[in-house]
């Protein structure tokens, strides 16, 4: 058979995805659209009859909603000085303070072998000050003290405000 003997595919066959020699049923798009449209019309008619039965169509408030009445906003004279920010806004925000004795890196293999009585060597010498961290940011150094039978820390060196701000960036 030559190419001339084969029927040419028209654009409609290409759109419908029909293959030569396949037994696929052709879909009539127009009939499908009409069927779906009639189902939508039936559904709309059902809703309309249900609304009539409930009496909601007679209620004008459902068709013409009135605007909600709101109080007028009034400026109560909140003023912030240009020189200093108002810190009262943030004073009640909770933060986490932690003390770091030291740290080290350890392989998971060694970590899994730890048990009661194991000793882990840290990167700090005995007697060195602890790091005081607020939400993970270093703010000071200090030493451990006892306060009413609880541990506490006495700050020995506070990181300057400028240095703390520069570490945040």
Mean pLDDT by 10 residues, the chain (169 residues): 49 46 64 71 76 64 67 66 68 90 92 92 89 90 90 90 78
Q: Is residue 98 part of a domain?
A: yes
Contact status, residue 142 vs residue 133, Cβ threshold 8 Å = no
Total domains present in the chain: 2
Same domain for 57 and 94? no
Cα 122 from Cα 105, distance rounded (Å): 9
pLDDT at res. 29: 74
Sheet holding 137-147, edge to edge: 97-100, 130-134, 137-147, 150-158
Cα 155 from Cα 164, distance rounded (Å): 16
Q: Is residue 137 part of a domain?
A: yes
Same domain for 48 and 118? no
Token pair, residue 47, equals: 């809703």
Over residues 38-63, the pLDDT tens digits come to: 777 777 777 777 777 766 555 555 55
Number of continuous H segments (helices) and E segments (strands) in the chain: 5, 4
Give the residues across from 137 on adjacent strands. Answer: 134
State what percent of residues in the chain have pLDDT above 70: 66
Torsion of CA 101, 107, 109, 114, to 10 degrees: -10
The residue range of the domain holding 127 is 90-168
Q: Is residue 37 part of a domain?
A: yes
Q: Is residue 140 part of a domain?
A: yes
Cα 147 from Cα 41, distance rounded (Å): 80
pLDDT at res. 91: 85
Same domain for 156 and 99? yes
């Amino acid at each position: 058979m030559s190419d001339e003997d084969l029927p040419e595919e028209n654009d409609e066959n290409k759109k419908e995805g029909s293959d030569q020699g396949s037994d696929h049923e052709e879909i009539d798009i127009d009939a499908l659209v009409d069927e779906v449209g009639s189902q939508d019309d039936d559904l709309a008619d059902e809703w309309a009859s249900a609304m009539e039965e409930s009496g909601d169509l007679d209620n004008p408030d459902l068709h013409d909603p009135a605007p909600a009445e709101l109080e007028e906003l009034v400026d109560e004279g909140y003023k912030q000085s240009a020189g200093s920010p108002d810190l009262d806004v943030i004073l009640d925000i909770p933060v986490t303070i932690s003390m770091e004795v030291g740290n080290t890196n350890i392989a998971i293999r060694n970590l899994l072998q730890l048990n009661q009585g194991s000793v882990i060597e840290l990167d700090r010498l005995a007697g060195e000050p602890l790091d005081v961290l607020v939400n993970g940011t270093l703010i000071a150094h200090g030493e451990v003290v006892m306060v009413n039978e609880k541990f506490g820390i006495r700050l020995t060196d506070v990181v300057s405000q400028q240095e703390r701000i520069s570490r945040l960036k």
